[in-house]
Amino acid sequence: MKTVPDQHVLKSRLRKGLRARRNGIAETQRDKLDAAINRHLVEYARTAHLSDIAASFAFDGEPDLLPALQALEADGVTIALPIIKNVAGRDTMVFGRWTRNCRMVPNRYGILEPAGTEEIPIPQFDVALLPLVGWDRRGIRLGMGASYYDRAFQPFAQSPRPMRMGVAYEAQEHAGLPRDPWDIFLHAMLTEKGWFTCER
């Protein structure tokens, strides 16, 4: 997965600007936005009767989903978080079951991940909540650049399951994001305004 040079420069520039925009949200405003995102997530999960969700812990200014994950786990929903593993000399991403009492350890990026819990295969999830740096309404996602999510979900790119739902703030929208052939599309987006199906 090697981005063509011009695309790489454009993506890097957009990534830098969108991360700065996200990190520039004031703490009091961020608390309100996160509360709205968590409320919409819980409402959606309960209405859709979701049983298995892939999610992630907040990193680098991402929306904090912990309140919603705790509420849904208490409802009996299976929650899983990313785990970075080294397979055949290359890092890859899998998902391990998370509970509020499970042991968590930091990975190479300093992000906490479940330790010693059941690994859950991606096709089992009803919904996968994908973090991102930028998004547009066509379902194009700009990530951090390591391609973990693209590589993990590429085998299921043409499948409606799991539904890939991006999670971000409205401020992270950028119309006309560039896309490489291996970049996975999002089926839907979740922001502080609610969730919607992408226009692809």
Q: Is the pLDDT of residue 2 over 60?
A: no
Model confidence at 8, in pLDDT bands (50, 70, 90)? Answer: confident
Q: Which residues contact 157 (CB under 8 A, 6 or more apart)?
A: 184, 185
Assess contact for 22 and 169: CB atoms under 8 A.
Answer: yes
pLDDT score recorded for residue 3: 53
b/e for 168-194, b at 16 or more Cβ within 10 A? Answer: bbebbebeebbbeeebbbbbebbbbee
Model confidence at 63, in pLDDT bands (50, 70, 90)? Answer: very high
DSSP reduced 3-state for 132: coil
User: DSSP code of 133?
Assistant: S
Distance of CA 66 to the CA centre of its chain: 13
Q: What is the pLDDT of residues 13-48, one digit of tens each?
A: 999 999 999 999 999 999 999 999 999 999 999 999
**pLDDT average, residue stretch 160-177:** 97
pLDDT score recorded for residue 24: 96
pTM, 2 dp: 0.94
Q: Is the pLDDT of residue 195 over 90?
A: yes
Model confidence at 199, in pLDDT bands (50, 70, 90)? Answer: confident
